[in-house]
Amino acid sequence: MPAFLDVSDSLTGRRWIGPSLEEDRLAEAMARDARLDRAVALTLVRRGVGPDQAQGFLDPKLRDLLPDPLTLRDMALAADRLLQAVDRRERVAIFADYDVDGGASAALLLVWLRHFGLRATLYIPDRIEEGYGPNEPAMARLASAHDLILCVDCGTLSHGPIDAAAGCDVVVLDHHLGGETLPACLAVVNPNRQDETGDLGHLCAAGVVFLLLVEANRRLKADGRQGPDLMALLDLVALATVADVAPLTGVNRALVRQGLVVMGQRKRPGIAALSDIAGLSTAPTCHHLGYVLGPRVNAGGRVGKADLGARLLATDDPHEAQALAELLHAHNAERREIEAGVQAAALAQAESRADGPLAWAAGEGWHPGVVGIVAARLKEALNRPSVVIALDGGIGKGSARSVPGVDIGAAIQRVAAEGLLLRGGGHRMAAGLTVEQDKLAPAMARLAELLARQGAGATGPRDLSLDGLLMPKAAQPPLVETIERAGPFGAAAPSPRFAFSDLAVSMQRIVGNGHLKLAFTDGMGGRLDAIAFGAAEGPLAKLHPGAGRFHVAGRLEINTWQGRRNVQLLLEDAAPAGRR
């Protein structure tokens, strides 16, 4: 395919790739038949939406997309056991993972049970001292003092620890890849069990928990009883779905879209307090969930006390919410400092190796609480699946992040089964592993081999995918609002990116912490405002008045300032117009 606008070497060194001829043809037909702007039609076509599906896609209804919870194995057992605990006023413990998905999953159950006057025990393991998932001492202690343990966002591979919970019923609510056998517990509700169809494999753990609560409420209603308002809990599901990088397709898209509406109502004290302390002054978006709120909720599990995030999300006390939000905000600042040092070393190490399907780095003394987020940074910088490992005493504990279309969890689970890892598993986009230092190199070589078979590394960081071409005069709020109806945008549903051709720079100035504020004109009365974050010292600084004419590319947003709404381009790349 020829380079879009003939840009094969942009200012940032990338090749631009636009829609195919077939996509152009389908978008033209959809724009005509569905009476949509062509830019919106292109956005839909590139997401596999047909003309007859366009209006339904732009206005998704949760009631139409929510699956029957009973399609998941063991769901009936889990729902019955949860309701039994409510009816018998039993002692319930929730064992959760220390990330956002685990914390939100725990909060869903804590809030739901609180409606019935039950105060469940929350247990989240310490990342460094206990590691991921249930462990035998903790499960044995919980079993001795409780009637039911709910393991959320963990437990599918925890055979030994669940065996240690003797005399107590255990229900697992998870989404991580299952093994050949399941632990000996009452129920394992997991769309990624090997005996599941995989149709709901895109759900995060909070999505699985939400389906459990839907089924429990349905049974309550059949008995003439009223359950909690589940729609009011969708802010927690949305936060977990975005933060866990679950694909925003199918029911996930509807859950997040409605969850953002609920979050905007600011009725959950913890999220409201965290939004305020983070300076979030506009309606929440997926960006805020993934890059503003999520990291702060995660900070307790990374460098602070593991249960802080779940407690924040579950509390109904504004004073406690404020105190927890302040603590997590401080921990997040500490996390950033630690992360910066590890990231610099990891990136240099990964770049020193030859290009391949996997980017990886390992270091002695690296804080294990930041390896996941650094792996995400490597993945973004190098456009390859990435693994970052903290070494300590001959043992490495690492996290992996993947790119669309490459299942990192399955590959790591395979390497663990072959004996090169002590343990490992996860899901398509993220996973964890433990490895002996003397097996590190062969383990990473084997992982790279498996990822290459899935196509990892086939698309390099030089490729910039574009959804089409627009004129500056077309970039108006109504168009952007319609495009946003095709969202929310995130994993597996990226925000559309458009190009504008042959523009002159009419203004450039540096704002904030090294950001470029720009204005472009097309010579026909059209003007386009833009901002390039962190670009003041980079190649995009060449965009200044008098420097010539440029093609520019990025994502559109509506910028509200002093009551005025204008379209702004989030500038990602540019190329001199006319370059061949």
Give residue limits of the domains in the chain. 4-18+467-576, 68-330, 353-453
The pLDDT value given to residue 445: 95
Q: What is the pLDDT of residue 283?
A: 87
In CATH, what is the architecture of 68-330? Alpha-Beta Complex (3.90)
Could you tell me the CA-to-CA distances from 75 to 86, 113, 211, 250, 544 in Å, in that order?
17, 18, 9, 20, 60
pLDDT of the residue at 312: 98
pLDDT at 457: 77
Q: Which CATH class is domain 353-453?
A: alpha beta
Burial label, 580 (beta-carbon count in 10 A; 0-12, 13-18, 19+): exposed
Contact at 8 Å (CB) between 178 and 156? yes
The predicted pLDDT at position 421 comes to: 97
Q: 451 phi and psi, to 5 degrees? A: -70, -35
SS (H, E, C) 156-208: CCCHHHHHCCCCCEEEEECCCCCCCCCCCCCEEECCCCCCCCCCCCCCCHHHH
487 neighbors 257 (Cβ within 8 angstroms)? yes
What local confidence, expressed as pLDDT, does residue 461 receive?
Answer: 53
Residue ranges of the chain whose pLDDT lies below 50: 579-580
Residue 356, pLDDT score: 85
Could you tell me which of 1, 27, 14 has the C-alpha nearest to residue 551?
14
Reduced to 3 states (helix: H, G, I; strand: E, B; else coil), residue 486 is coil
Identify the pLDDT of residue 30.
94
Helix (H) or strand (E) holding 515: strand 515-521
- The residue assigned the tokens 């517990």 is 185
Per-residue model confidence (pLDDT) at position 2: 86
Q: Specify the DSSP element, H or E, that contains 248.
A: none
Report CA dihedral (539, 545, 551, 555) to the nearest 10 degrees.
Answer: 70
Answer yes or no: CATH 2.40.50.140 is held by domain 4-18+467-576: yes
Looking at residue 471, what is its pLDDT? 96
